[in-house]
Amino acid sequence: MEFRPCIDIHNGKVKQIVGGSLRDEGDQALENFVSEQNAADFARLYRNAGIRGGHVILLNGSGSSYYERTKAEAVSALREWPGGLQVGGGITAENAAEFLEAGASHVIVTSYVFRDGRIYRDRLEKLVEAVGRDRLVLDLSCRKTREGYRIVTDRWQKLTDVRMDEALLDSLSDCCDEFLVHAVDVEGRADGIEEELASLLGNWGKKSVTYAGGVHSYKDLELLRKLGKDRLNVTVGSALDLFGGELEWQKVLKICC
């Protein structure tokens, strides 16, 4: 299990938010933490600690008046730790190269591929052609419904008809290098992981998967290791001391080694 750090950027600032609260209208979100440091500061910290594979997420849509400010912050982080960070948020086949050239090791994609309740295979193929599967991370962030887990898109605001299960993971595994999965129902709440989802991902275990959502204690990390059969990587956000929480990031790093 690897610790994968995060740099979430909203309205031009590094933040931790309650994932399900994000709204494009008015650029609103329930905030857990707003940092006085910029994205490059966090990238420098991760670089100095030798932590790779963290993700920089742009939480403003391209139509937002804050988008360019948020993008500038993201690019500054990528340039600070070239090859050490992944980037997501509004990535398309047309703009992916710009972020790779700025220093991203991978681009993270959801909404470009999952739209209108289904998977657009032609867009996925176009993306693979543009960046190569070895530099692509598919974000399969999801919510639990009566029918099981379903993929959410557009900064976790739109529920699709696509089920997040082992069959989906199998069908997409040849198209990307890794998966990133936010458990949106618990994202940013720091009150426990989504155990059923962690078990699903751990049971599959055929490719690198990073789980994010709900970690609030060191026991959660051990539980995730157990449920994920030591196959999952983990992101810790609001509970981390870097973002105003109580978990010491260096201790988290040691536990995950």
Given a cut of 90, is residue 22 above it in pLDDT? no
Contacts (Cβ under 8 Å, ≥6 apart) of 35: 13, 14, 15, 42, 243
Task: Please compute Rg for the chain using Cα positions.
Answer: 16
How large is the average pLDDT for residues 129-150? 95
Global model pTM greater than 0.85: yes
**Helix boundaries (H) for 4-154:** 39-49, 67-80, 96-101, 121-131
pLDDT in the model for residue 173: 96
Given a cut of 80, is residue 28 above it in pLDDT? no
Phi, psi of 167 (to 5 degrees): -65, -40
List pLDDT tens digits, range 82-129. Answer: 999 999 999 999 999 999 999 999 999 988 998 877 899 999 999 999
